[in-house]
Amino acid sequence: MTRLRSTPGETARRGFIETYDSVPGGVWFAPGRINVIGEHTDYNDGFVLPFALDRGVATAAALSNHGRVDLVSEQFGPKSFALEELSRGGPGLGHGGAAVWAAINSGMEIPGLNLYVSSTVPAGAGLSSSSAFICALLVAANDLTGSGLDAPTLAMSAQRAETEGVGVPIGVMDPMVTMLSKQGHALLLDCESLRYEHVPFRATTPGADTEILIVDTRTERNLATGQYGERRGDCQRAVSLLGLSSLRAASTSLLEEMSGLLDEMSLRRARHVVTENARVLEVVKRLREDDMAGIGKLLDDSHRSLVEDFDVSSPTLDLAVEVCRDAGAYGARLTGAGFAGCVIGLFPSGSLPVVDAAAKKAFSAREMRQPEVLLGYSGPAAGQLVG
């Protein structure tokens, strides 16, 4: 059982001093995220409701004149790129290279950069570790170069880094929540207009009567391997068959009327997106009414839709959801892209020991890798750490 640790800023600072034998220009932090609800809706111009975690990626950074990016990651080791090589862009740059490429592309003048990165978000678990990594580098470069780009612009830059530089076709949710979040709140984001609102969510703060638990099944997924792109393609196919601009323009009644135009799979994909958008708005309403039981039911419905209509769950994720429900969750669902990674459950406070024991027992009985249960507390948006 693990409580979320504080920021890894000190580790990054210490690592920088040991590596470069000089003090950094500052230390920046970008959080990972949990998506409360609104899965596979962002690239369909829909609604999402994520919040930024109190764990994430810290980077100690300084400009230099050597024409390179020297990057040491505590987890993944050292890398070095010539700026000239980076400015050519293209997929396959890796996250560090892609972040700096996007920074240069958005007008930042970087003569050279030294970076030391440390992370407290498990990689590949669906908690947006890669977006946090890219955002941490972008906010650092933005401040060090005095470029003054605002948070939404940096978020769009981070999305370009991942899409065009790394080659993973993600939506806007992860970088937007990393850049715009507010502690104690979830971020209601309209991915069509990019309008957003901070919705108070006290289960994300210590001392509340409810809590969000994250069950990390420690099964890693890699978005680059294709299934995520396939789902995007399925949605695009439904959009073409329906003759719409995006699935945002669809509704349950429209799908019923026009179901003859769709094959069975396209109908299921579209139905998930349409019903999930409605669930996001309904969760926001229930949050305002303080109706935890109502929110729990919507989380359960979301998971069912992701299993039956969107086909992105796995036996391990389903088991983790079942464990949460049996241990007294108001509701539970997979979070992030799916296929592997984490589930979240909304619980009365103090449930962590029970859920942790139940998850370990259920996973050992099936000879599965031991899961890890974490408290999902919210943290602030990406920015420079003080002190």
Is the Cβ of residue 155 or residue 381 nearer to ligand GLA in the bound state? 155
Q: DSSP letter at 165?
A: I
- State the minimum distance, in angstroms, from the CB of residue 108 to ligand GLA: 23
C-beta of residue 330 within 8 angstroms of C-beta of residue 303: no
Is the Cβ of residue 334 or residue 352 nearer to ligand GLA in the bound state? 334
What b-and-e string marks burial along 206-219, b requiring 16 or more CB atoms within 10 Å of the CB? Answer: eeeebbbbbbbbbb
Task: From 68, 66, 72, 99, select the one nearest 81 (Cα to Cα).
Answer: 68
Q: Based on the shown chain and the rule CB under 6 A, indicate whether residue 359 belongs to the binding site for ligand GLA.
A: no
Is the Cβ of residue 138 or residue 173 nearer to ligand GLA in the bound state? 173
Site for ligand GLA in 163-192 (CB under 6 A): 170-171, 173-174
Torsion from C-alpha of 152, 154, 158, 159, nearest 10 degrees: 30
- State the minimum distance, in angstroms, from the CB of residue 231 to ligand GLA: 9
| Of positions 336, 345, 371, 376, contacts ligand GLA by CB under 6 A | 336
- State the minimum distance, in angstroms, from the CB of residue 38 to ligand GLA: 7
Kind plus residue range of the DSSP H or E element containing 57? strand 47-63
Size of the site for ligand GLA (CB under 6 A): 11
Please list, in sequence order, all residues whose beta carbon lies within 8 angstroms of the beta carbon of residue 190, skipping any fewer than 6 positions away.
Answer: 47, 196
Site for ligand GLA in 11-40 (CB under 6 A): 35, 39-40
Radius of gyration of the chain (CA): 21
* Assigned token pair, 362: 């259920």
- State the minimum distance, in angstroms, from the CB of residue 173 to ligand GLA: 5
216: annotated active-site residue: no
C-beta of residue 89 within 8 angstroms of C-beta of residue 101: yes
Kind plus residue range of the DSSP H or E element containing 278? helix 264-289
Strand 68-73 with 113-119, pairing = parallel
* Assigned token pair, 171: 């939506």
Site for ligand GLA in 265-284 (CB under 6 A): none
Is the Cβ of residue 34 or residue 149 nearer to ligand GLA in the bound state? 34
Please list, in sequence order, all residues whose beta carbon lies within 8 angstroms of the beta carbon of residue 225, skipping any fewer than 6 positions away.
Answer: none
* Assigned token pair, 148: 């003054």
Backbone angles phi, psi at 302, to 5 degrees: -60, -45
Q: How far apart are CA 95 and CA 98, in angstroms?
A: 5
| Of positions 28, 29, 43, 133, contacts ligand GLA by CB under 6 A | 43
CA distances from 356 to 29, 119, 320 (A): 29, 23, 11
Torsion from C-alpha of 342, 343, 347, 351, nearest 10 degrees: -50
- State the minimum distance, in angstroms, from the CB of residue 276 to ligand GLA: 9
- State the minimum distance, in angstroms, from the CB of residue 126 to ligand GLA: 6
Is the Cβ of residue 210 or residue 302 nearer to ligand GLA in the bound state? 302
- Choosing from 70, 174, 234, 309, which is the catalytic residue? 174
- State the minimum distance, in angstroms, from the CB of residue 93 to ligand GLA: 17
Q: Closest-CB residue for ligand GLA?
A: 171
Q: Based on the shown chain and the rule CB under 6 A, indicate whether residue 42 belongs to the binding site for ligand GLA.
A: yes
Is the Cβ of residue 31 or residue 336 nearer to ligand GLA in the bound state? 336
Is the Cβ of residue 35 or residue 142 nearer to ligand GLA in the bound state? 35
Helix (H, G, I), strand (E, B) or coil at 27: strand
Q: Based on the shown chain and the rule CB under 6 A, indicate whether residue 337 belongs to the binding site for ligand GLA.
A: yes
Active site residues: 174
Q: Which residues bind ligand GLA (CB under 6 A)?
A: 35, 39-40, 42-43, 170-171, 173-174, 336-337
